[in-house]
Amino acid sequence: MDMHKQYMHRCLELAQMGAGSVSPNPMVGAVIVLDGKIVGEGYTSPYGGPHAEVNAVQQVMQKYGEKAKRLIAESTFYVSLEPCAHYGKTPPCANMIAELKPLKVFIACLDPFAKVNGKGVEILREAGIEVEIGLLEKEAVWLNRRFFTRIGQFRPYVILKWAQTKDGFIGQEGKQVWISNAASQQLVHRWRAEEDAILVGTNTAVVDNPSLTVREWQGSNPLRILLDRDLAIPLDANILNDQADTIVFNAKKTEWTANVKYIELENYGLYLPQNILYQLYLMDVQSIIIEGGRATLQMFIDADLWDEARVFESATTLLNGIEAPQFKGQLLESKLVSNDLLKIYKKQ
């Protein structure tokens, strides 16, 4: 790997450190290089805070004091996403870089957001800065697939998740069945901390009584989404406790009660996945894990509204029960999590 790719790879590593805290912003990493040495680096702060480029510049300022601006002007910038060009929670990063006038800026990919797309690059070039676009572009787009999906498709990025036995069952009617091992369960809690929301249906909420929180990992609890058409879930159910906010999509009422928001959907069963995802898009939800039972998972599969599937295959068998969802996807990765086999697919 050449040095330019190494520096951009470092940007992608840094960007990943913002997972679970920057949404609905993208994850971005920035590196400043002088004479073959990284003199400053940063990643986007939790939502509302400084962006990656600002944090990288601040690191240089703190290290070198009065010499910092001169050193930056002799440096090369690497950033995993086009610097922003508009005023939002923070000033435009493109303007800041233009004022500092580094020798060159490498950008992995353009920002598809209408207020940025190409405008950040234009600001830099108008300032006389050489700009190169496309270094590790494919990797950068994949890293921010949640952001790109929300901007391009007006819906959250949808991750399907379930565990199934060796003989293809995900559970048995009316009772809770643990299929995956403890290591897999901890990994799921890590995933919850990285995504904005998590969704289950009525049956899962009744039978499993899940909290859908991050108990075995450090991070923020996701927004809990419950599909409960007739409001059959008891008020003391774990999913309605005060450990996280919950939205209940139903056919009965719209109402706020403490941390629970009830949203009535007209014609509840009609285009339900589409309606839910659009409502969540309007709430700035950028990603969601579907952790429901077979009917809920299959509903999103049949509507062609999913992007990624994470399937644990256990060595155990049930012989009978609820069959795993049926879907077609491209296998991206297969690895052991203790004695479970985790397979990750993307939609073809």
Catalytic residue IDs:
53
Beta strand pairing call for 287-290 and 157-164:
parallel
Q: Residues marked as binding for substrate? A: 192, 212, 215, 291
C-beta neighbour count of 102 within 10 angstroms: 22
Rama region for 5: left / alpha / beta (φ>0; ψ in -120 to 50; rest): alpha
Q: Residues marked as binding? A: 51, 84, 93, 163, 178, 192, 204, 208, 212, 215, 291
C-beta neighbour count of 59 within 10 angstroms: 18
CA dist 184 and 172 (Å) reads 20
Question: Is 134:108 a contact under the CB 8 Å cutoff?
Answer: yes
Identify which of 1, 327, 321 has the alpha carbon closest to the alpha carbon of residue 175: 321
Identify which of 80, 79, 86, 73 has the alpha carbon closest to the alpha carbon of residue 113: 86
CA angle 340, 292, 309 (to 5 degrees): 50
Q: How many residues does the chain have?
A: 348
CA dist 336 and 32 (Å) reads 37
Beta bridge partners of 327: none
CA dist 324 and 48 (Å) reads 40
CA dist 117 and 139 (Å) reads 18
Q: Residues marked as binding for NADP(+)? A: 163, 178, 204, 208
* DSSP three-state, residue 278: helix
Which sign does the torsion angle of CA 185, 186, 190, 192 carry?
positive
Q: Residues marked as binding for Zn(2+)? A: 51, 84, 93
